[in-house]
Structure 1
Amino acid sequence: MKILFGFGLDDDQLIGQAVQADREGLDLVTVSDHPYLHDRLDAYAALGVILGRTNAVTAAVNVTNLPTRPAPMLARTVAGLSALSGGRIALGLGAGGLWREIEKLGVEPLSPARAVRALEEAITVVRALSGGGGPVTFDGEFYRVNDLIPAAVPAPPIWTGSLGPKSLAVTGRVADGWIPGHASDWRSDRVATSRPLIDEAAVKAGRDPRDIATIYNLPGRITTAPLPATRDASGRWRGGSVAQWVEELTSAVLEYGAAGFTYFPIADGTPATTALTRWATEIVPAVRAATGTRTPPPGQPLAPEPRTSARPSVPDPST
């Protein structure tokens, strides 16, 4: 079994945290993507530096703001990072949410329905432009390429941040994983009602729902002493002692089928580097041991490989 354990990086300590996560044996580091904010680093510029400063950890944007990054160029960017890092990259994709901010970059706004269609089309384009093969021509509703040679490297795992029913169905049809929105976890109503929609769409598309990983963004405190309650009145995870974290995450894997966790420290006065160390060296090894999670040899990326190495045929968008 292969479960991802990651860490959500803070812009202010980006490189130091990434190097620490790599050194302490985590599988994944992630950065956010808000290109309309002046005080945030460009996500893919950051990813390039992170991958250049680390040796084994996989990196991902959690999640890519697709409306500001056209799919054909995104495919080329991700292919380059994959080639240079030995495949240590995953592609998180979002249809776009803060449209008032996105429009400041000169991007044409899309209705929710069109944004979802663009998301599915983007996944098709990224896969088509990966893995080698003959020239690709694609004339879609949102993206067009003409006689373009795919990159030789395979497409990375593609995870979506889907929220609504239509985008959840896209995840089931074409994605490799799902990152539940609003840091919802395995005991939440959101996951309980959303994951069946992914599974239903997967089955209709002839896929095995088990091939679509659920990777949770998980904020919380790591305390020195056990907390009386690890969840608040609404049922949201608050955190707790190392033993409480280990018990909860072990249950998430064995009982709820969780495929990964990206930890985000809570601002409670604990230095982020201290929280990262406790997560990476105390909680993660214990959960790996309890769940039988496989860890890779040094230098080998752990990001789940695409389920098929064949580049999919490009559908005719007119049909």
Structure 2
Amino acid sequence: MARAPEFGYFLVPNADDPLLDIAREVERAGLGWVGIQDHPYQRRYVDTFALTSAVLTATSTLRVFPDVACVPLRPPAVLAKTAASLDMLSGGRFELGLGAGAFWDAIEGYGGQRRSPGAALGQLAEAVEVVRRIWSGERGLRFEGEYYHLRGVHSGPPPAHDIGVWLGALGPRALRQTGRLADGWVPSVDEDVLRRLPELNGRVDEGAADAGRDPSAVRRVFNVSGEITDGAGTGFLRGPVSRWADELATLVTDHRADLLVFAGPSMSGPQGGEARTQLRRFAEEVVPATRELLPSSP
């Protein structure tokens, strides 16, 4: 039996966009989530966590997560404190997406340290450990890693709920690490990733099984993008509502999507009106059509 999916919107933190108006529109349209990309070195973007706080304040039902936070530029103990505070202040509407880092020239230029792929994964694994310890409620926390340490610190205040740690990953080692450590997996699904989803899901499952975990405990959070049209389909997620519904329903039934996050065109410039139309069509047409194709929950 397929699980009932949830739906959200991928918010680009462009300072020129009416970001809080967009978030309110997402909520009014009935979507449940906003994912916000995190590129601190991008001069056109506001800070992801400052925007998250504003979105949580400006809405009453939306749940928000960084899609995904740049660990090389965000010390995990402070990040954990920020995450717990956002969750507490919003009544439990925050989840934490983390990534090992990309765009290393920009990361290094902004003060981060360039890492090899293997070292970046090791740093990410330690970050997950530090974050969870800071949320533990315990006192006198100690951790000595290669990249991070905790030396006699006290955790708190606690988050309002058990925050999920979701990892953005695609490589074989990163996927197995996701299965071993994380509560969720956050890929962006294009045609290439779609073809590889059975293999990629399998690697996450392998990591979970090796750690003695139930693979179904790792939530699948898929970023999806394309164009909703009234004409014939021209490719994956490019075509009419019926095609979108078929393809999203397949992501749920065949590839175990739990949350589908729609990334539409940019809200900036002359295409801003079309971007809002795409958002409304996704929420008002695609989501109901997708749900109609899925088996009812028992």
Q: Give the TM-score normalised by the residue count of structure 1.
A: 0.84
- Distance between the aligned counterparts of 2:289 and 2:9, measured in 1? 17
Contact 2:27 2:59 (C-alpha < 8 Å) held by counterparts: yes
- Secondary structure of the corresponding residue to residue 254 of structure 2: helix
State the distance in 1 between where 2:32 and 2:153 align: 33
SS, match of residue 79 in structure 1: helix
**Residue 292 of structure 1: CA displacement?**
5.3
- Structure 1 stretches of 4+ with a deviation exceeding 6 A read none
Matches within 5 A, 1:185-224: 188-223=194-229
**Counterparts in 2 of 1:187 and 1:31: CA distance versus 1, 3 Å:** closer
Amino acid at match of 2:208: A
Q: Please tell me whether the aligned partners of residues 237 and 243 of structure 2 are also in contact (alpha carbons under 8 angstroms).
A: no
Which residue number in structure 2 is paired with residue 271 of structure 1?
A: 274
1:291 aligns with 2:294: yes
Identify which range, 262-271 or 211-220, moves more after superposition. Answer: 262-271
Match of 2:11 in 1: 9
Query: Matched residue of 1:89: which SS?
Result: coil
Aligned to 1:161: 168
| Equivalent position amino acid for 1:260 in 2 | L
Alpha-carbon RMSD across the aligned residues, in angstroms, is 2.1
Q: Which residue of 2 aligns with 1:180?
A: 187
Map 1:55-204 onto structure 2 (within 5 A).
55-151=60-156, 152-153=158-159, 154-181=161-188, 183-184=189-190, 188-204=194-210
The answer as to whether partners of 2:23 and 2:59 remain within 8 angstroms in 1 is yes
Aligned to 1:281: 284
CA contact (8 A) 2:246 2:293 kept: no
Amino acid at match of 2:30: G
Using CA pairs under 8 Å that are at least 6 residues apart, name the structure with larger relative contact order, 1 or 2: 1
What is the letter of the counterpart of residue 250 of structure 1?
Answer: A
Q: Does 1:49 align with 2:48?
A: no
Q: 2:192 & 2:164 partners in 1: Cα distance? A: 21
In the alignment, the residues of structure 2 paired with residue 288 and residue 90 of structure 1 have an alpha-carbon distance, to the nearest angstrom, of 24
Q: Unaligned 5+ residue runs, structure 2?
A: none
Contact kept in structure 2, 1:230 and 1:240, CA below 8 Å: yes
**Closer/same/farther in 2, CA of residues 185 and 210 from structure 1, 3 Å limit:** farther
Map of 1:229-244 to 2, 5 A cutoff? 229-231=233-235, 237-244=236-243
Q: Across the two proteins, how many residue pairs are aligned to each other? A: 286
Answer yes or no: is the 8 Å Cα contact 2:228–2:237 preserved in 1.
Answer: no
Contact 1:4 1:261 survives alignment (8 Å) = yes
Find the aligned partners of 2:132 and 2:296 in 1 and give their Cα distance: 28
The alpha-carbon deviation at position 45 of structure 1 amounts to 0.8
Residue 65 of structure 1 aligns to which amino acid in structure 2? C
Q: What is the DSSP-based 3-state SS (H/G/I as helix, E as strand, rest coil) of the residue aligned with 1:263?
A: strand
